[in-house]
Structure 1
Amino acid sequence: MAAFSRSVGKREIPTSDGPASADDVEKAWNDNTLAQVLYHDWEAQTYDEKWSISFDERCISYAKERFEHLLGPEILAAEPHPYGKSLEIGGGTGFFSLNLKQAGILDEVTVTDVSPGMVEAAKENARKLGFEVEGQAAFAEDLPYPDDTFDVVIGHAVIHHIPDVEAAFRDVLRVLKPGGRFVIAGEPTRVGDWYARRLGRVTWKLTTAVTHTAPLRERWAKSKEELDASSRAAALESIVDLHTFVPDELEAMAVRAGAADVKTQTEEFLAALLGWPVRTFEAAVNPERLGWGWAMFAYKSWLRLSAVDRVLSKGLPKGVFYNVGITGTKPLR
């Protein structure tokens, strides 16, 4: 429930004081900023578990590979590491920036998110890892930092939540130092989102139907209250997911915003066909029934299919893959 708001730049961010109610979801249909804060504040404390986020070798390797795959060997060889001052937009609980710092790609880290709860979760995760990060609630289109501040601006699965993506690119370029780079990974393509959501819906219906049969109900089914909460979360998710992208159109948008050296890279096709049913299944069943063995099966299966996808990427059109990433630089004056 939205309790009050705080001013950030030229806009105000509503602050939530607990899980979203059905009335909150109804209000959020007419107020996307409220929807974004309600959804992400609500998810902040369980987000890492929901998406199997960790800050160990598994996710350090994942974040590092996403970053390096998007840049490519020539850029990696030309640009010094670690990047000195970094900013993450839509940082969530810190998955991308904290793991990239641990991988030696980033040095000083600042995180922003429209959700105050997510920013606090990222700061706490950093403390648990033995370092501090700066951060505050902020809109990506109106960042509260001076011009020419950061060496790199990063994001992961963020710009599809932003109402005006081109305006966000412009402000990202504003806060970058001349020659600085932005790296945005993990955004849904138009085709990928189409098949992923349909796979998710089918998996949810089948899983909840099967786990509520008499033989499985007691051990495998989630309670009605948990399923109702999941349904409200899904309703909010449908509001906060604003965009899908065609790679060439996304590239053109960044160029219009003033970026140079822009390129896109797609990944995950077979891996997404597995990943979406797996994540939906995990959300639909009693989590006590799924242990470390299941987690490793899911992760290793994803790794194997991702390796096949890298081969397929040489022949398949960019647009059929689930994820698209984009990178570019701020022109030198």
Structure 2
Amino acid sequence: MASNDPAPNPHATEEEVEAARKDPKLANVLYHDWEADTYDEKWSISYDERCIDYATGRFRAVAGDEDWPYEHAMELGSGTGFFLLNLMQGGVIKQGSVTDLSPGMVQVALRNAEHLGLDVDGRVADAETIPYEDDSFDLVIGHAVLHHIPDVPAAFREVLRVLKPGGRFVFAGEPTRIGDTYARKLGQFTWWLTTNVTKLPALSGWRRPQSELDESSRAAALEAVVDLHTFDPAELEKVARDAGAANVHAHTEELAAALFGWPVRTFEAAVPQEKLTLAWRLFAYKAWLRLTWLDENVLRKLAPRDLFYNVLITGTKP
């Protein structure tokens, strides 16, 4: 992190949280600073073959692999560095820069990069005013970031500004309008069902302590503030083109996989972590892989792209 970047604030006061309800950027900082140290565990993020394959697969699905490796890439809204660091390990990128509005996330991403021995620097950065010079990067990437940014068109203009001519952007993991609707409803029902069934004496060992459940509920309340957008793939393509991008293409994925994955993720958040054995995690991962195969090889041919949960988008700077 740069010397003038703000320090993480993982323990926001009630007054700060209340103010964040009216300020999406402050909410993003407080929520992600609070989540930073446990974020990888919460979302089963790793920096091994499993997530390297996932990250490179998402990149290849929308952008192909003709120009690998990119010399210098920046991740916008990097979180703990999941997308950038795994793409670096997968041979897509040589040198990286992480940026995030949350100082805590930048700190964890740089720590992860150091542990992996990767060439990465980092800055606390607002996506609408990226603190890098024009024509700085060969590639700009992001994973699950656009839906947190208040002014998405301004962010695309900034991305194109910091890209070198001919440079590419790739954003993945963004919720579609329809996909977000069914994912949220499935998540809410699973949370309600799990937290109520585990009140039964026979299942009390599966109930997280009330203090942790309360904390998760507070996080979910802020999550409703930080999640600002869902996307129609065609409209997102237009936003990128209007910002000046060329060769714009959106790709969607995860339908059956999302219908399975969101209840599983919610269940995992609602029970004690020690109950989630290796056998359970392998079951969940292998089931997700099989359903992803079904999505790509069968449902993609039958269902409109708007029905899928994730939208990915790429384009280039003329």
Check whether TM > 0.5: yes
Q: Is the 8 A contact 1:48 1:54 kept in 2?
A: yes
Relative to 1, partners in 2 of residues 1:42 and 1:116: Cα closer, same or farther, differing over 3 Å? same
Show the counterpart of 1:173.
160
Map residues 119-130 of structure 1 onto 2, 5 A cutoff: 119-130=106-117
> Cα offset for 1:171?
0.4
Q: CA deviation at 1:289?
A: 1.0
Give the drift of 1:132: 3.5
Does structure 2 conserve the Cα–Cα contact (< 8 Å) formed by 1:22 and 1:232? Answer: no
Report the Cα offset of residue 23 of structure 1: 3.8
Distance apart, 1:21 and its partner CA: 4.6
| CA shift for structure 1 position 7 | 7.7
2:71 paired residue number: 84
Mapped to 2, the partners of 1:252 and 1:235 lie a distance apart of: 31
Length-normalised TM-score, structure 1:
0.92
Structure 1 residue aligned with 2:131: 144
C-alpha contact 1:160 1:243 (8 A) present in aligned 2: yes
Whether 1:235 aligns to 2:227 is no
C-alpha displacement of 1:204: 0.1
Give the AA of the match of 2:146.
I
Q: Is the 2:99–2:125 Cα contact (8 Å) retained in structure 1?
A: yes
Distance (Å, rounded) in 1 between the aligned partners of 2:13 and 2:131: 31
Q: CA deviation at 1:16?
A: 5.0
SS of the residue corresponding to residue 208 of structure 2 reads coil
CA distance in 2, matches of 1:306, 1:22: 41
Match of 1:32 in 2: 24
Aligned identity (percent) is 61
Per the TM alignment, residue 263 of structure 1 is displaced from its structure 2 partner at its CA by 0.4
Output aligned runs, 1:1-333, within 5 Å: 16-72=8-64, 76-77=65-66, 79=67, 81-217=68-204, 219-311=205-297, 312-331=299-318
Task: Specify the alignment match of 1:3 in structure 2.
Answer: none
Per-residue deviation, residues 172-226 of structure 1 (Å, max 9, x unmatched): 0000000000000010000000000000000000000011211121x21111110
Contact 1:18-1:42 within 8 A present in 2 as well: yes
Q: Unaligned regions of 5+ residues in structure 2, if any?
A: none
Amino acid at match of 2:26: L
Q: Is there any run of 5+ residues in structure 1 with no aligned partner, and where?
A: 1-5
- For residue 215 of structure 1, give the secondary structure of its aligned residue in structure 2: helix
Deviates more, 1:239-248 or 1:29-38: 29-38
Listed one character per residue, the Cα deviations across residues 237-279 of structure 1 (whole Å, up to 9, x for unaligned) are: 0000000000000000000000000000000000000100000
How many residue pairs get matched? Answer: 315
